[in-house]
């Protein structure tokens, strides 16, 4: 079960959330797993026009999520809090500025649209050719 352990509001209006899904897997050894999430609502200003916005909502729903899972294996019970904090701090130091950028929401939404549309094209192209 994931437990929300931290939220960081960003300058672009989004919020990054850190969830702890650490679990014990053998004796005193744990798998520290931090799930990092940032939800981007599909707002009209992310699109060229109302039609593009409506089409995107049909494909993606009301939002798109950035999700990154970071895992560390073989962590002793006493080392869990330090490991969790180190994972969060590393992400803050190296990735938070990208997610805080004004163009991040548009880039994430466009990337997800390309991924979804690419799957559709691959399905049609890669279909049965009898």
Q: What is the pLDDT of residue 121?
A: 60
Predicted confidence (pLDDT) per residue in 73-84, tens digit: 999 999 999 999
- Domain housing 26: 3-125
Task: Please determine, for residue 3, whether its predicted confidence score (pLDDT) is greater than 60.
Answer: yes
Predicted confidence (pLDDT) per residue in 19-35, tens digit: 999 999 899 999 999 99
Structurally, how many domains does the chain consist of?
Answer: 1
Contact status, residue 104 vs residue 64, Cβ threshold 8 Å: no
Q: What is the pLDDT of residue 117?
A: 87
Q: Classify residue 42: in a domain, yes or no.
A: yes
Fill in the DSSP letter of residue 127: S
Q: Classify residue 130: in a domain, yes or no.
A: no
- Name the region of 48 (left: φ>0; alpha: ψ -120 to 50; beta: rest): alpha
Q: Classify residue 71: in a domain, yes or no.
A: yes
Q: What is the pLDDT of residue 120?
A: 66
Which residue, 44, 38, 42, 37, is CA-closest to 21?
Answer: 37
3-state secondary structure of 9: strand
Predicted confidence (pLDDT) per residue in 66-125, tens digit: 999 999 999 999 999 999 999 999 999 999 999 999 999 999 999 999 999 887 665 444
118 contact partners, CB below 8 Å, separation of at least 6: none
Q: Classify residue 45: in a domain, yes or no.
A: yes
Share of the chain above pLDDT 90, in %: 86
Task: Please determine, for residue 126, whether its predicted confidence score (pLDDT) is greater than 60.
Answer: no
What number is the average pLDDT over the span 53-57? Answer: 94
Task: Please determine, for residue 128, whether its predicted confidence score (pLDDT) is greater than 90.
Answer: no
Query: Long-range contact list for 12-19, CB < 8 A, 24+ apart?
Result: 12/100, 12/101, 12/102, 12/104, 12/105, 14/38, 14/39, 14/40, 14/99, 14/100, 14/104, 14/105, 15/39, 16/96, 16/99, 18/88, 18/91
Q: Classify residue 58: in a domain, yes or no.
A: yes
């Amino acid at each position: 079960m994931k437990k929300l352990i931290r939220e960081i509001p960003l300058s672009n209006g989004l919020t990054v959330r850190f969830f702890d899904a650490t679990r014990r897997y053998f004796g005193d050894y744990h798998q520290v797993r931090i799930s990092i999430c940032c939800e981007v609502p599909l707002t009209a200003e992310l699109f060229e026009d109302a039609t593009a916005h409506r089409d995107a909502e049909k494909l993606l729903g009301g939002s798109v999520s950035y999700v990154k899972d970071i895992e560390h294996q073989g962590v002793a019970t006493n080392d869990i809090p330090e490991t969790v904090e180190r994972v969060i701090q590393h992400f803050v130091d190296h990735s938070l500025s990208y997610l805080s950028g004004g163009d991040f929401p548009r880039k994430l939404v466009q990337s997800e649209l390309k991924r979804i549309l690419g799957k559709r094209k691959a399905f049609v192209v890669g279909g049965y050719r009898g």
